[in-house]
Structure formats: C-alpha cells, structure tokens
Amino acid sequence: MKEIVSGNFNIADIAESGQCFRLTPLGRGEYRTVANGRVLTVSHSDAGARLDCDDADYEGLWSEYFDMGTDYSAFSADIPKEDVFLTKAAEFGKGIRILRQDPWEMLVSFIISQRKSIPAIRSSIEQLCDRYGMEIAAGIHAFPTPQALAKLPLERLNACSLGYRSEYVSAASRMVDGGALDLGAIGKLGDEELMGALLSVRGVGVKVAGCVMLFGYHRLAAFPRDVWINRIIDSEYGGSFDAEPYKGYAGVIQQYMFYYARSTAHRPLSFVKACDDRI
DNA sequence: AAGCAGGGGACGT
DNA sequence: ACGTCCCCTGCT
C-alpha cells in the first residue's frame, strides 16, 4: 500500500478525462487500471490517492506511469485570471495527470475511438483484451500485442465491434509487427516528425495522432481537437483558440477543457451541482 | 421497444 | 476547402 499526498492527484478525474479506457471504477471510490502488464487498484484518500502496491513497484513502475515527476500545480498557476473559463476548468480538473501509457495501446485505442462514444470505445477494447491479450490475473488480460492482432482475420476484429476500423487496426498491427513502423524509434523524433510518422498510418488523422502523441509519447505540447474542444472554442473563444501561450503543456490545458466541458454538459443536475461545489 | 445522439478519417471533387 | 460515405453502440 502506497499513499500519494498531492492535491494534483485524483483518480476519478483521471479516469473521466478521456485519456485512458482501461481505468475502470469498481465502486466505493475504487478504480482498477491495467497497464505495464500489471493490475493496480487505486482509491481516494484524504490527502490524494492510495495505490495497492509496495514501495518497489511504486518506484519502479507506477510513479512513472502516473507522471509523478511533473508538477501539475505549475500549469494552472500560469493561466491568466482573465480567462475565466480556463481558470475554472483547471481548478475543476486539478486532479488530472497525463498518464504515461504504452504507445501501441494508444495507437490502437485511438484508431478505434473515431466516431465512437467513450462507452463504446471501452467495450471494444475490453473485447480485444479479453480475447487476444495475455491473462495476467484471474479474468484480467493485458492489451494484445501487435503480433497477436496482426494474425487475426478481419472477422475476428469485426466481432469486437470495430466496424470499418478493423482494417485500420489490422494494417497497423502488421506494420508494427513487421517492423515497417517502429514505435520505439519514432519516439525519438521531434514533435513535427513524430506527427508525420503517425499520420502515415491508415486510419490516423490529425486528431488521433495528437492523442497518441499526448497520451502515448507524453508530448505535452500536443493539443488534440475533438468535438468537445471545438465546441468550447466556439462557445467560449469565439471560434478560435490560440494554444501557443501554453506551448510546452497545451495538452494539459486540453485535458482541463475537455473534462470540465463534459462534466458540466449533459449530466444529471445533481452531478453538475456537485461540480459547482468544488469551485 | 424504438428512436436517437454520438463520434474522425478517407477519398473524390 | 468541402461534401459524402463509413454504420453501429449505448442510452433514454
């Protein structure tokens, strides 16, 4: 058991921020994540969060995964007070951290995400993992390897509700498995070049590539624009938002905007009220 | 039960 | 730059 004392670590905020699909609520404020070929249970504590792991695993594995080396309070401190929306959004989402997730898992997950709602994305990914991922604990499976997916006939992928995305996932798997796309090597490229390399994958456009950069390669300058972000830019910023002032951590700003907008829109009134109470 | 909102990219022009 | 097609899931 490892307790993390930080005002900038809230596992519920992280789970709802749209960056991960395998961090799931177990009830009673507990969450389970599957990453690094391991399973981890995380719960709230008064001071921050409680991780169900020992010191060695924390130091060797989870500290990195939860990006504990980054000071998130510094980001919100930089937001100008005149930007009322962003100031509120950052306060609301202050428990968000950008997880350091696996590039391969992010690539496939965000290819699948296109034209799907978050519950639908989660469902597809769970089916893929349950059927083709290695069992790492009772009933819990790791994300499938490129090799495992590369050899599947399209019908197997279709059966996981991938729809027209099956061909994209299959092709990407074969690219990575065959060495045509080296996810480790492109991680050494600069932001522009990395974007270019990701865009060369069929089924990957600017938005998906941005998500892979931000969540799989921890390129905090990436600012993926999805329908929620565009909606905010329209309603709060008159149709154009300049992420330039936040260069270096625009992706963190994106997360605050996304999480705040989704939490206040189309939710039960009780939830919205609870949100207001926190500000 | 049935109707409907939700969600990016490829490709052709 | 813009229009069209892809076509199913989860929620109400």
Label residue A124 by pLDDT band (50, 70, 90). Answer: very high
For residues A267 and A23, the model is more confident at: A23
Give strand B nucleotides closer than 7 A to any protein Cβ: 5-11
Residue A269 has pLDDT above 50, yes or no: no
Average pLDDT, chain A: 90
Q: Which nucleotide is nearest to A267 (CA to C1')?
A: C11
Question: What amino acid is encoded at A86 in this protein?
Answer: L
Contact flag, residue A159 CB and nucleic strand C, below 7 A: no
Label residue A174 by pLDDT band (50, 70, 90). Answer: very high
Residue A138 has pLDDT above 50, yes or no: yes
pLDDT for A151-173, tens place per residue? 999 888 988 989 889 999 999 99
pLDDT at A277: 35
Contact flag, residue A69 CB and nucleic strand C, below 7 A: no
Sheet containing strand A23-27, edge to edge, reads: A2-5, A48-51, A38-44, A30-35, A23-27
- Return the percentage of chain A with pLDDT > 70, whole number: 95
| pTM, full prediction | 0.92
pLDDT at A214: 95
Contact flag, residue A127 CB and nucleic strand C, below 7 A: no
Contact flag, residue A161 CB and nucleic strand C, below 7 A: yes
Question: What amino acid is encoded at A135 in this protein?
Answer: E
A70 CA to B9 C1' distance (Å): 33
Contact flag, residue A115 CB and nucleic strand C, below 7 A: yes
Q: Which helix (H) or strand (E) holds A43?
A: strand A38-44
Residue A262 has pLDDT above 70, yes or no: yes
A145 CA to B11 C1' distance (Å): 30
Closest CA to B5 C1' — which residue? A117
A278 CA to B7 C1' distance (Å): 30
pLDDT at A276: 37
pLDDT at A155: 87
Give strand C nucleotides closer than 7 A to any protein Cβ: 6-11
> How far is A225 from A211, CA to CA, in rounded Å?
9
| A8-22, A100-114, A253-267, range with the lowest pLDDT | A253-267
Tell me the mean pLDDT in the region A130-135.
Answer: 94
Contact flag, residue A120 CB and nucleic strand C, below 7 A: yes
Label residue A278 by pLDDT band (50, 70, 90). Answer: very low
What is the DSSP code (8-state) at residue A203? T
Q: Which nucleotide is nearest to A115 (CA to C1')?
A: B7
pLDDT for A27-71, tens place per residue? 888 999 999 899 999 998 878 899 999 999 999 999 999 999 999
> How far is A262 from A87, CA to CA, in rounded Å?
16
A141 CA to B2 C1' distance (Å): 36
| A136-145, A190-199, A222-231, A264-273, range with the lowest pLDDT | A264-273
Q: What is the dihedral of CA A23, A25, A26, A30, to 10 degrees?
A: 90
Contact flag, residue A123 CB and nucleic strand C, below 7 A: yes
A256 CA to C9 C1' distance (Å): 27
Contact flag, residue A270 CB and nucleic strand C, below 7 A: no
Contact flag, residue A117 CB and nucleic strand C, below 7 A: yes
